[in-house]
């Protein structure tokens, strides 16, 4: 599903963010990515949805080698991967419905199918009654639910989330985590970078720890392992 072999990433400014990473993530896994700030977690995640390209090494996503993937095929890869960000990245002038429908409109789905799909994901995240609201009219937790709905509306095989609860209070974070668990329970591979020790320690999932651009720990039923 996601295979990295000896992956390096050095940015244009000379900073080496990843220093030889090899991992294998199978379909349906739930993986936490932990580590100090600046360790390389976001870079690791950006490589998976090809927001960044590796300097060296091999990355296979669903058996497709990203190195030889033609630019015009990148949108197809992105459809297999839903992304959730810490700061939601919703389009502020569009309604909740439109923010989610957008992902389907760009791939030319029929209006009927769009309507059914959008209402289905809104139901899943518990926001059916707020379809006409704009992001500013929602709480942070609700905005994150919208961004989760947007990420899954294409039914991607992989959902990746970069500190999705970073801007949310603990109670709201737990609600969001329950939604992610539900999505994973339906067979979607879930990869999440997080600084939340409480969440990682209570969920007992696979934990990959990255420090200074290297995988220093990779455990099933793992723990957060840091004091802060
Ligand atoms: P984390 O998500 O663990 O905080 P990042 O992957 O964001 O780590 O960053 C790893 C290192 O790469 C840091 O030193 C960071 O400053 C650097 N870095 C991240 N993005 C860029 C970029 N676009 N250009 C240059 N350096 C970057
Ligand atoms: P930007 O990088 O300036 O946010 P993009 O064109 O990359 O613009 O993305 C447009 C919108 O779609 C943004 O809100 C972004 O967060 C979201 N987005 C991009 N890629 C994905 C993806 N694979 N899954 C879900 N949302 C995505």
Q: Give the residue, out of 7, 8, 11, 17, with the most ligand 1 atoms within 8 A of its beta carbon, to mutate for a pocket test.
A: 17
Does residue 227 carry a pLDDT above 80?
no
- Record the pTM: 0.87
Question: How many C-alpha atoms does 44 have within 13 Å on its Cβ side?
Answer: 39
Locate tokens 């990682």: which residue? 200
Would the CA dihedral through 127, 153, 185, 1 be positive or negative? negative
Domain assignment present for residue 77? The answer is no
pLDDT value, residue 228 = 59
Give the residue whose CA is nearest to atom 1 of ligand 2: 89
Torsion of CA 37, 91, 168, 38, to 10 degrees: 0
Domain assignment present for residue 4? The answer is no
Contact status, residue 171 vs residue 199, Cβ threshold 8 Å: no
pLDDT value, residue 74 = 87
Domains of the chain: total? 1
CA of 17 to the centre of ligand 1 (A): 6
Domain assignment present for residue 150? The answer is yes
Domain assignment present for residue 25? The answer is no
Give the residue whose CA is nearest to atom 16 of ligand 1: 38
Domain assignment present for residue 167? The answer is no
CA of 123 to the centre of ligand 1 (A): 36
Ligand 1 pocket, residue 40 CB under 6 Å? yes
Mean per-residue pLDDT, 161-174: 94
pLDDT value, residue 107 = 87
SS3 (DSSP) at 18: strand
Ligand 1 pocket, residue 35 CB under 6 Å? yes
pLDDT value, residue 81 = 95
Ligand 2 pocket, residue 151 CB under 6 Å? yes
pLDDT, averaged across the chain = 95
Domain assignment present for residue 151? The answer is yes
Does residue 120 carry a pLDDT above 90?
yes
Q: Which of 65-69, 98-102, 155-159, 176-180 has the lowest mean pLDDT?
A: 65-69
CA of 16 to the centre of ligand 1 (A): 8
Q: What gap in Å lies between CA 106 and CA 196, rounded to an integer?
A: 34
Give the DSSP H/E element, type plus range, for residue 77: helix 74-79
Q: DSSP for 85-103, please give it.
A: ETT----TTS-HHHHHHHH
Mean per-residue pLDDT, 120-135: 96
State pLDDT tens for residues 63-112: 999 988 998 988 888 889 999 999 999 999 999 999 999 989 988 999 99
Ligand 1 pocket, residue 42 CB under 6 Å? yes
Q: Give the residue, out of 11, 32, 212, with the most ligand 1 atoms within 8 A of its beta carbon, to mutate for a pocket test.
A: 11
pLDDT value, residue 10 = 98
Domain assignment present for residue 219? The answer is no
Domain assignment present for residue 125? The answer is yes
Q: Which of 29-38, 73-82, 164-173, 198-207 has the lowest mean pLDDT?
A: 73-82
Ligand 1 pocket, residue 17 CB under 6 Å? yes
Domain extent at residue 149: 95-155
């Amino acid at each position: 599903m996601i295979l990295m072999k000896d992956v390096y990433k050095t940015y244009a400014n000379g900073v080496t963010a990843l220093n030889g990473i090899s991992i294998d993530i199978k379909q349906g896994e739930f993986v936490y990515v932990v580590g100090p700030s600046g360790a390389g977690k976001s870079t690791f995640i950006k490589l998976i949805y090809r927001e960044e390209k590796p300097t060296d090494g091999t990355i296979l996503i669903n058996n497709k080698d990203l190195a030889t993937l033609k630019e015009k095929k990148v949108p197809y890869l992105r459809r297999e991967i839903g992304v959730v960000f810490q700061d939601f990245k919703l389009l502020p002038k569009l309604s909740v419905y439109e923010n989610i429908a957008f992902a389907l409109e760009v791939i030319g789905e029929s209006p009927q199918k769009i309507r059914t799909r959008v209402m289905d994901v809104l139901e899943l995240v518990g926001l059916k009654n707020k379809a006409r609201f704009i992001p500013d009219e929602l709480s942070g937790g609700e905005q994150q639910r919208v961004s989760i709905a947007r990420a899954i509306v294409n039914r991607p095989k992989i959902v990746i989330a970069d500190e999705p609860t970073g801007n949310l209070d603990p109670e709201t974070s737990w609600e969001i985590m329950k939604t992610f668990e539900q999505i994973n329970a339906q067979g979607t591979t879930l990869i999440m970078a997080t600084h939340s020790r409480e969440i990682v320690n209570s969920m007992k999932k696979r934990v990959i720890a990255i420090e200074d651009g290297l995988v220093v720990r990779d455990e099933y039923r793992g723990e957060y392992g840091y004091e802060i």
